[in-house]
Amino acid sequence: MNIKWSEHLTTAVSPDGYPLSELPEIAMVGRSNVGKSSLINLLTGRKSLARVGNTPGKTRVINFYNVEDKLILVDLPGYGYAKVSEAEKNRWGKIIETYLNTRKQLSAMIMLTDIRHKPTQQDIVMYQWICSMGKPHVIVATKADKIAKAHYDKHIAQIRLTLGLVPEIPVIPISSTKRLGLINVWNEIEKVVPGLEIVPDK
């Protein structure tokens, strides 16, 4: 099955706005500007389903995207954006925290980190929290087009070491601009949402 159909379902800041659907949800977690919305566009094969921005802090709410009526991709606000007030940071933090802590149909998380950089202290805290939730998760290393392929291993090793990953947790390099790694991410999603049989176009 190719992904032929996806749609923006709804936008929410608190549980009363979450969709009523009981489809399994896969959440994108990561720093502001890391490429969460771009990954949703990559996965759905849509250029601008999710809003991508040059200005960090673009996604300030939770956006839910229905894919083939089989699963929902969830675009969470990014954390770690320096140029907003403390109050705003706390508000975004609360939005992320409430979603992750309360959403029953949250099946898995994709934590994104820029392949070029060592994960930040905030990434480490976020990752520890993800681990404590005990749900399936993978790490996606974004913007892989920005480094030479020969350097992937070195950068991925740094990510593994900094986040303290156990060997079972994959780190998948992707490029939303060059459309790299798409199938690998779908393969991981299929492990937690059985029966998807999604074969994205190259």
* Contact string (CB under 6 A) for ligand GTP, positions 159-198, x = contact: ----------------xxx---------------------
Residue among 148, 170, 189 at smallest CA distance from 28? 189
Query: Which CB atom, from 48 or from 132, has the smaller least distance to Mg ion?
Result: 48
Does 31 help bind Mg ion (rule: CB under 5 A)?
no
Q: Of these, 19, 24, 45, 56, which contacts ligand GTP (CB under 6 A)?
A: 56
**Which two three-digit tokens encode residue 91?**
């508000």
CB atoms within 10 A of CB 11: 14
Backbone angles phi, psi at 190, to 5 degrees: -65, -25
Query: Which CB atom, from 41 or from 66, has the smaller least distance to Mg ion?
Result: 41
**Which two three-digit tokens encode residue 21?**
């659907």
Q: How far apart are CA 27 and CA 118, in angstroms?
A: 22
Nearest distance, CB of residue 7 and ligand GTP, angstroms: 18
Can you give the binding site for ligand GTP, defined by CB under 6 A? Answer: 30, 32-38, 52-54, 56-59, 78, 142-143, 145-146, 175-177
